[in-house]
Amino acid sequence: MNKPITFDPYSILVDFYDHWAKPQSEDIPFYVKRAAAVKGPVVELGAGTGRIAIPIARAGQDVIGVDLSGAMLTEAARRAAAEGVVDKITFIEADMRAFVADPPVELVIVPFRGFLHLLTADDQLAALASIRRSLVSGGRLILNIFVPDPETQVALNGRKTSHGEFVDERGRRCEMWGLPEYDVTSQRLHLRVGLDIYDGERLLDTIETAFDLRVIYRYEFEHLLVRAGFEVEALYGWFDERPLEGDAREQIWVARKP
């Protein structure tokens, strides 16, 4: 039987994914430092275009980069080859709810809020169970998700908001935008993401995609980790490892498998 054809919503993001992630670029040295401190390989779930995996490989560490999007992984492999680290990274198209590293590893990372693509508690727990099986005793899970802010959710709900701009390889000005819609009761964020492409002031084209994220609060995630058999080792409010307090906008979790 032929595999059914399904649309990959993340394929649209390939050309501007790194530009979209640029405001959070301080995550790169953070994850590279953590990856370099363990015996490899390191597993990255939600590897995308290799934004984190490639710098880790350049630092000398082997990486297993896992993603559900074949389009993202194709671009990641192209970039890894261009950077001369293709032999340091194994890219695998798989679902983080089911992927298990064999043999187990010392570190699994889920950068850039990748865990939020899991939309139900069952999905979240399935992923955490697989991650736990992927780790040796004493191994660590490190990931980051945003801090939910009800005021921001109300202010931005249903509004198209600029996410910055860049000039592409053809010299065209490209404006990124997002349009979030929040469902309070389900804690779901439906996010439309788009790119307007200009020649001077003339709009040439608009490309867009959409996907859902699950908003996760601090103590909700702590409960999930404990329920999945992890010990919380650290919780930071930014990639310089400052505490999660005050106006922190990112939750950076370090959890240990006993």
Asked if 208 contacts 195 with a C-beta cutoff of 8 angstroms, the reply is yes
Say what the pLDDT of residue 1 is: 47
Residue 169, pLDDT > 90, answer yes
User: 2: which residues sit within 8 A by CB, 6+ positions away?
Assistant: none
Residue 5, pLDDT > 70, answer no
Q: Which helix (H) or strand (E) element contains residue 53?
A: helix 53-58
Q: State the average pLDDT over residues 30-56.
A: 98
So what CATH class is 11-147+216-256? alpha beta
pLDDT digits (tens, 9 = 90+) for 74-111: 999 999 999 999 999 999 999 999 999 999 999 999 99
Q: State the average pLDDT over residues 120-134.
A: 98
Domain limits of the chain? 11-147+216-256, 150-214
* Residue 7's pLDDT band (cuts 50, 70, 90): confident
User: 72: which residues sit within 8 A by CB, 6+ positions away?
Assistant: 10, 11, 13, 14, 17, 47, 48, 49
**CA 125: distance to chain centroid?**
17
